[in-house]
Each structure stands twice: as C-alpha cells, then as structure tokens.
C-alpha cells in the first residue's frame, strides 16, 4: 500500500508559478513511476506529467510542455510539479499517482496507476 498526499495548491494570477509536492509513504517509493493528472469541473481527468522510477525519463501532456517540470527525490519519497507561466485553463484539481511500470503507455493512462492522492486545488485567475 502507498499513501500519497499532495500539497502546494492555491490561487495564483495568470503568468504566476506554483510548486506542487506529493509525499509518499508505505511501500518503496522508488519502485513506482509517478504521475500528475488534473481534473477540471465537468471534464475528464487529464494527464499532465510523469517521471520514471529512476528519474531519468519524463513525459508531459501537450498543454503543459515547456511550462511545467516534474521531478522526484527518492530519498525524500516526494515528487514535485513546478508550474510556471500558469494560465486560467490550468485551473483544476491536481492529483499525484503511482504506477508500477514506467514507459510512455504505462504512465499516460489513469488505468495504469495503482494509487492516488486526494488532490490539491489550483486556481489561476485572469
């Protein structure tokens, strides 16, 4: 079992930045690829970013490429999402999740993840 707790969400003006954190406890954190997803009201959960177990490989959704950066610290059991140049359309609840396998098709789909956090709200005002 892995428990995930997100933090760092809040209200920010367009063009601003936020850094989300996701602290993991339970089974070995470094055994899992980690991902961030988001869900806006009335929309499906959307892939944002993912990082492999070894920290070597990262993946990003098209809408956040060049603006968001995912990273992880296996010594601290934490994954981060640095969000820059935020836009109102980035407003959503952001979730972190843990997947047992890396590789693009193993991290972009919600069904590939075994554990999810409860989410943190990010609101970007125009």
Q: Give residue-wise pLDDT tens across range 15-33.
A: 999 999 999 997 688 899 9
pLDDT in tens, 108-119: 999 999 999 999
CA-to-CA separations, 107 to 5, 32, 65, 85, in angstroms, rounded: 19, 10, 16, 24
Instruction: State how far the Cα of 93 lies from the Cα of 37, in Å rounded to an integer.
Output: 8
Does residue 125 surpass a pLDDT of 90? Answer: yes
Q: Residue 1: its pLDDT value, please?
A: 83
In the predicted structure, residue 56 carries a pLDDT above the cut 90: no
Give me the pLDDT at residue 109, please.
Answer: 92
Q: Name the residue among 96, 95, 83 with its Cα closest to residue 124.
A: 83
**Contact partners, residue 68, CB within 8 Å, separation at least 6:** 48, 49, 60, 81, 82, 83, 84
Average pLDDT over residues 44-53: 96
């Amino acid at each position: 079992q892995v428990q995930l707790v997100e933090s760092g969400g809040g209200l920010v003006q367009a063009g601003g930045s936020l850094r989300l954190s996701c602290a993991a406890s339970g089974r070995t954190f470094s055994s899992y690829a980690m991902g961030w997803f988001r869900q806006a009201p009335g929309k499906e959960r959307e892939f944002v970013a993912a990082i492999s177990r070894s920290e070597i490989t990262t993946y990003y959704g098209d809408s956040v490429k060049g603006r968001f950066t995912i990273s992880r610290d296996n010594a601290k059991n934490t994954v981060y999402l640095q969000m820059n140049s935020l836009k109102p359309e980035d407003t959503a609840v952001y979730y972190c999740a843990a997947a047992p396998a890396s590789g693009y098709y193993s991290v972009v789909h919600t069904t590939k993840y075994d554990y999810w956090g409860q989410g943190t709200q990010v609101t970007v005002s125009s």
